[in-house]
Structure 1
Amino acid sequence: MFIPESDHVTSPLEKTSGHGRTRRMAAAVCRFCGRLRYELAPAAVSFGMTCMGWLHHAVGVDPAAYAGYGLGVAATAGLTWGGLKFKSGIATSLGIASTATLINAGLGAVTGPSVPSLITGGVVTIASYAVYVPWLVKTRHDRFNLQIKAAKTAPLPDGMGVNVGVPGVTGDTEEETALRRALVALGVPAVDVSRIVFTDTGWYALVTLPPGKNTSAQAVIAKRQQLQANLDLPGRLRLTEGAQANQLLVRMQTTDPLAGPGIPWPGVRISSIEEPIPIGIYPDGIEILIDIVDGHVLIAGGTNKGKSGAVNVLAANLVACGDVFLAGIDMKPGALELGPWEPNMVALADDADTARQLLVWLKSEMTRRGKYLATLRGPNGERVKKWTREHGKYIVLIIDELAELLRQAPDVASELMTLMQVSRAMGIRIIAATQSPSEQAFGGKGTDTRQQFGVRIGLPVNEPTPINMIMGTGAYGQGWRLDELDLPGKCMVSSERYFEPNEGRCYWITEHQILETSLEHASPEDDAVEDVRPHPEPDPEPDPPTSPGGGGPGGGRPVLRAVPTFPDGSRIPENRQPLWEALEKAGPEGLTKPEAVSRGICNHHTSIGPWLSQWVAAGWVKEDGKRNRAVVYVHTASRHTTAPEASVIDEESTACTSL
C-alpha cells in the first residue's frame, strides 16, 4: 500500500528489537489473510487435506484406513452421480469437491510427501478455483447490487454486509465502516478497503473499487463533495487515483498544521543561484525547495491567493546571490509589485513598451552568450554547451502577471517562446507569475510555453478548470487539487524534486522585510559593469565576442533606445522598417512605388504592394492622387508609440540607465 512520506508516523513498536519485528510481521500476515479469507479458502482446504494425508502416512496406515478412504470416495462419487441425474448443481459441485479432496488426502496417506502427492494437490487446487472463482464473483456482484438498492430505498440492514463474517457494511474501525457505507450510498461499493492508517494530521486508506467506467477512481473523485457528505466525519476529504485504475487513495485531514495567518519568512538562506531556494514548508516541517537552475518557474493561482508572496520570497533570495543579475517585468502601472526590487535589478519594465524592449535586449544577450560559449572548450577539447557561474552571472527575469503582458503586447509571444526554449543553456531563467491561467496566458495554441516550465508552483484556484493547465494534463485526477487549498499561500509544487502532489504553504514576507532586504543588497552603481568571461580569461581563437554594442551584464546596465512600432503597438518587422521610415520622412509629399525602387528601399515595386495595401486598410497610410501616373502614398498616422531595444553604448562606460 502506498504510504505518503509526509504522513508517516513511527510508533514505539517500530523501535524495538527483532522480537517486535517478528510480531509485526506475523500480525501483518494475519491481517492479509483475514482480508483475503474468501479468496484463499480453496487453497487452504487443499493444502490442509494434503498435510493431513502426510500426517496419516507418518503415523501409519492400516487396512481399515484404506477401506475408509475407499468408502469415502465411493460415497462422494455417488453424490456426484445423483446430482447429475437429478440436475442439482449444489449436489454435483459438493460431490466433485469432496471426491477430489478425499483422493488428494488418500494419495498423501499412501505415498507421503512425494511428487505424485504434490501434483495431485496442485491439480485439485487449480480445479477448485476454476469452479469457485465464478461463483465468488457472481455472489459478490449480487450482494453489491442488493446493497445499492437497499441504500437508495432505506437504511442498510445489519444482515447485508460485504464481508460474510461481519454483520452489515462494517470494517475494523468506525472510519472504515463510515467509508464503506458512504461508498455504497454513492453507488460504488468497495471491493476492498485496506486497514485505516492514522497519522498526526488524520487518516488514510486505499480502496479497491469494482471494475467499470462508472465505478472508476475518476468517477468517485468527481463526486467528492457527495462522498464527504455521506461520510459525515470531521475533516477535509482528499481523493487521489491509486496505482491501478480501480484503486482510490482516500485521505481525511482532521488537523491542519499549516493553518494560521501565515508562516513568517525566516530570511535569506542562500548565497548562490545554484543552491535550492526555500519558499515554504510542508506539514511535517520539511522545507519546500525550488531549483531555479533546473528550469523556468511558473507561479499560478487565483486572485489574492498568495502569488505575490511566492514571487517576493524568490526575489528576496535571488537579490542576495552574487552570481545573479535580476530583471523584471511588472504589468501593474508603476511596477507596484516588483518596484521595491528596482535597486537590485539591471532593468525593470512596467508597461508593454518597456517590456518589449527588455525581451529584445535579453534575446540579444542570449545570442551574445551563445557565441561566447561556442568559443570555449572543456578539459578534453569538447564544446561547452551549458552556462555556469564560471562563465559569468546568471540572468533571472521575473514577469509579474504574464497574462496581462501577452494581452497588451501579443507580438512579444515569439520572443518569449524563443527565450524559454533556448535561453536555459545561456544561463537565463524566467520566473513567470499569473493569476489568470489560460491558453492565452501561455501564448496561445501556436506558441504554448507551458511545457517549458520545469518548476510549477500551484496556488489555490476557485474551480478545477485551470488545474490541468497549470500542473499538466491529467493533474486533476492525479491529486493536484489546487481547488482544495483553503488558505492563501498554500501550494503544491511540481518539479524534478517533487513528483507527488503534496500540500504545503509558502512563507509570508512582510513589506518591511522586502524593503530591508532590497536596501541591504542594492548594487552600487560602480559595480554594475562586469565581464561575463571567467577569470583568469581563457585563450580561445578568436577572442570571445561581446554583446552587440555592449550593454547589460557584459557592460553595465542596458542603455535603451526606441524600436519602431506600428500605431497599434505591434513591433515593425525589420524588412518593413525602411519603407515605413521613408513614408514618415516624406511627409505630405508622399512616396510612390517607383520612387521606393529608385531609392533602394525595395528591388521591385510588387514586393511592397501588399504592405502598402495593409497599411491603407488600417488607416495608417492613404492614397493621395498620382505622380507620374504612379499612386502617391502619404503617411497619415500620428507619431507612433515606440518600444525600446538594447542600444549601442561605450564598452568603457559604467553609466547605469534604468527603465
Structure 2
Amino acid sequence: MTRSHQMRRHARKMRRNGLQPMIVINGDEQLPDLAAVLIGRVLWRYRSELAPLYFAVMLALGGTVLHLTNPQWWPYLLGVSTAAGSALALFGARVGLALPSERFYAACVAVSAGGWFAAATALGVTYVPLPQILVGGTFVLGIPWWVHRRRRAKVRVDRQLSAWPEISHAIGLSGSRVQSAVVDVWGWRARFALARGQTIQDVIAKVPAIESALGTFRGAVRVHPTRDDRANRFELRVLDTDPHADAIPWPGPSVSSITEPIDLGPFEDATNARVLLLRRHGLIGGVAGSGKSGGINVLMGNLTACPDVVIWAIDLKRGMELQPWASCIDRLATTPEQARVLLSDAVAVLEARADWLASQGRRVWEPTPEMPALVIVIDEYAELAEDAPDTAGDTDSTARRGRAVAVTIVAATQRPTQKAMGKGAVRSQMDVRVSFRVRERKDVDLILGQGMLNAGWHAHTLNAPGKFLLSAPEHDTPRRARAYLLTDEAVANAARRHVKLRPSLDQISRTAIEEARAGILLRTSTPKEPTAKDSPETVLWAMLNGAPEDGIPVSHLITATGMSRPWLYQRLREHAETGRVTQVSRGRWRALTDHNP
C-alpha cells in the first residue's frame, strides 16, 4: 500500500469520526487532487461570468447526442425555439424580465440557440461553419450578459450572502440561514429562516449591526415578515441607493373609477402603493411640512378623474389647500357654519340611500356616473373639532353608517388625538391609515393604531417630505413609500381636464337634502308652526330669512305658503327689487335683511 493511499484512508477515518483532516502535500503526489479542487472552486465561484460558455458547451453536447440518436427531430427543435422566443418577447415580464431590452435579449438568445441546436442535430456539430458560429455567437451574445447591471448585482449579492454564517454569528443570530435572494430595481431582498427561538423582533433590533456587517449606508436595511407570515422567517430588504431621495413627479391619474385602487406613490421596491377607498374611511397624519398636502393632492388628482364619485370638501383654512380643486369639488365648506350644513346633509344622504336600498332589497350602493359615490375630504380635522364641535355627531354617524351606501370620509390632521378627532368613534372606523413623518414616537400609534410602533412602523424615522407608511387591509407590513409630487401647474392642469368628468349628485340624495333643509327651516326659522292664522307673506319671509347661504328651493316655499308659483315669483321679484332677497342660484332664494316687510 502506497503512502498516499494510506493518507487517504486516514483522512476518511477522521471524517467518519467527525474530525477535519489536514491536507499534507508530500512531493507531487497531492498536486493533481489539489489542482482539481481549486479549478472546481474557481468554476463554481465564477459560474455567473462563465454562464455563456457553459451554455455553449451544453448546446454542443446536446447537439452531438441528438445527431447520433434522433437527427430527424430538428424541425421540432426549431419550432420549439421559435415559440419560446416569441413567448419571452411577449410575456417575459411574468418571469422577471421587467425591461423590454431584457425580453428582447432573451428572445434573441432563445431563437439563436434553438436554430443552432436544430442545425447541429441535423448536420452534426462539426459541420462547417457550425463550430465557428457557436464560438462567435457565444462571444457576441455573451457581451450583454457580462455587462448587465442586475446580473453583476446578483453575483455581488450571492458572494455577500455566502458570508452570512459568519455575519449571523457576529451579530447574534447564529443558526439563521439564507433561503433565497432576488435583485430588483433599487437593491435586493432575501428570505431567511431563523434558528429555533429567534423571532423577527430579534432581527429588527439587530438592523444597525446588519447594516455594518453588510457594509451598506445607514438606513439601507429593512426587515419585513414574509408573505406566508411564518414566525421563523423574515425578509431582508437592502437598498443600494435611496429610491426616494428625489421627488417623484405625478404620472397622472391611475384610476377611472372609485372601484379601483388608487396609486399614491412607489414603494422602495418600485411597486406601487395602491389602496382602495370605496367603502373605507381614511386618515392622513403627519407633522407640518411632512407632505400631507402633497398626499391630498395625489388623492384629489385621482378622485377627480373618476366620473362615478362626487367630492365634498371641508377646508377651514379658508380653502387655502383645496381651493385649487374648487372647480372639481361639488361643495367646498370654508367656514364652520358651512361645514355644519355639509355634514348634516351627508347624514341625510346616507339615510335616504339606506332607505332606498332597503326598498329595493339591496345591501350596498354600487357607484355609477348616474348614482355616484360620495367622498368627503376634510383638511385639518382638528380645526373642525375645535371650531364646530357640534358636528361630531354627524361625522360619527357618517363614519359608522356610510360604508354600505358609499359615503366616505377622508380626514387629514397633524396629531389625531381623541380630542382632535372630536371625542367620537371616527378614528376607530378608519381602515386606511397614511402616516407621513411624525415628531414623536408615540404619534405612530395615534395615526396607525395601537401597537404599530413596536411592530416596526417607524414613521418617526421618515427623513423627507412625501415619504409615508401605508396601513390598510392589503398593506399590513411597514414598507416605505413616497407620494407623487404635484406642482401648482400640474394641479391646475388636472383640475381643468377633469372638470368635464364631474357627475351630479343622484336624485335620491338631492331630494333628501332638500327635504331635510325644509324640515329644519319649518322647525327653526318660523316663530311658530304655520297655522291658518299665519299669512302666506309671514311664512314666506320667515323661511327666506332662515334659509342657509346656498338658499332654499322654490318648491319648498310653495309647499310652506300654500300659494301658486306665479304668486310666489311675483312676491320674490318685489322683494328682490327692494334689495331684501337675492337669488343664490337657479330656483334657490334667501333673504338679505332681517327686516320683515
Match status 1:372 vs 2:356: yes
| Cα distance per residue 1:226-275 (max 9 Å; x no partner) | 65456653351222346444544333222233331x22112345443333
1:460 corresponds, among 430, 433, 437, to 437
Match status 1:437 vs 2:416: yes
Q: Is the 8 A contact 2:307 2:369 kept in 1?
A: no
| Cα distance per residue 1:430-451 (max 9 Å; x no partner) | 121222233434444xx33334
1:153-552 map, 5 Å: 173-175=159-161, 177=163, 188-195=172-179, 197-200=181-184, 201-207=186-192, 216-222=199-205, 224-225=207-208, 228-229=211-212, 232-234=215-217, 236-241=220-225, 243-260=229-246, 262-283=247-268, 285-332=270-317, 334-375=318-359, 377=360, 382-389=361-368, 392-444=371-423, 447-522=424-499, 531-532=506-507, 546-547=511-512, 549-550=514-515
Separation of aligned partners in 2, 1:328 and 1:229: 48
Separation of aligned partners in 1, 2:231 and 2:589: 59
Deviation at 1:207, TM superposition (A): 4.8
Q: Is the 8 A contact 1:561 1:646 kept in 2?
A: no
| Cα distance per residue 1:130-165 (max 9 Å; x no partner) | xxxxxxxxxxxxxxxxxxxxxxxxxxxxxxxxxxxx
Deviation at 1:489, TM superposition (A): 1.9
2:58 maps to what in 1?
none
What is the TM-score normalised by the length of structure 1? 0.51
Separation of aligned partners in 1, 2:97 and 2:499: 45
Q: Is the 8 A contact 2:382 2:420 kept in 1?
A: yes
Evaluate the alpha carbon distance shift between residue 232 and residue 275 of structure 1 in structure 2; reply closer, same or farther with a 3 A threshold. closer
| Cα distance per residue 1:491-527 (max 9 Å; x no partner) | 3333344444433322111111212332444479xx9
| Cα distance per residue 1:576-634 (max 9 Å; x no partner) | x89xx99xxxxxxxxxxxxxxxxxxxxxxxxxxxxxxxxxxxxxxxxxxxxxxxxxxxx
Separation of aligned partners in 1, 2:200 and 2:255: 42
Evaluate the alpha carbon distance shift between residue 216 and residue 290 of structure 1 in structure 2; reply closer, same or farther with a 3 A threshold. closer
Evaluate the alpha carbon distance shift between residue 374 and residue 174 of structure 1 in structure 2; reply closer, same or farther with a 3 A threshold. closer
Structure 1: state its 5+ residue gaps: 18-170, 534-543, 552-557, 564-573, 583-641
Separation of aligned partners in 1, 2:332 and 2:589: 11
Q: Is the 8 A contact 1:310 1:506 kept in 2?
A: yes
CA RMSD in angstroms, aligned pairs only:
4.6
Evaluate the alpha carbon distance shift between residue 238 and residue 180 of structure 1 in structure 2; reply closer, same or farther with a 3 A threshold. farther
Match status 1:649 vs 2:528: no
Query: Structure 1 stretch 465-474 or stretch 396-405: which is displaced more?
Result: 465-474
Separation of aligned partners in 2, 1:337 and 1:330: 7
| Paired residue type of 1:266 | P
SS in 2 for 1:353: helix
Query: Structure 1 stretch 345-354 or stretch 391-400: which is displaced more?
Result: 345-354
Deviation at 1:655, TM superposition (A): 5.3
Deviation at 1:284, TM superposition (A): 5.2
1:53-92 map, 5 Å: none
Evaluate the alpha carbon distance shift between residue 487 and residue 196 of structure 1 in structure 2; reply closer, same or farther with a 3 A threshold. farther
1:579-618 map, 5 Å: none
Bigger-Rg structure (1/2): 1
SS in 2 for 1:507: coil
Q: Is the 8 A contact 1:297 1:432 kept in 2?
A: yes
2:560 maps to what in 1?
none
Evaluate the alpha carbon distance shift between residue 203 and residue 280 of structure 1 in structure 2; reply closer, same or farther with a 3 A threshold. closer
What is the TM-score normalised by the length of structure 2? 0.56
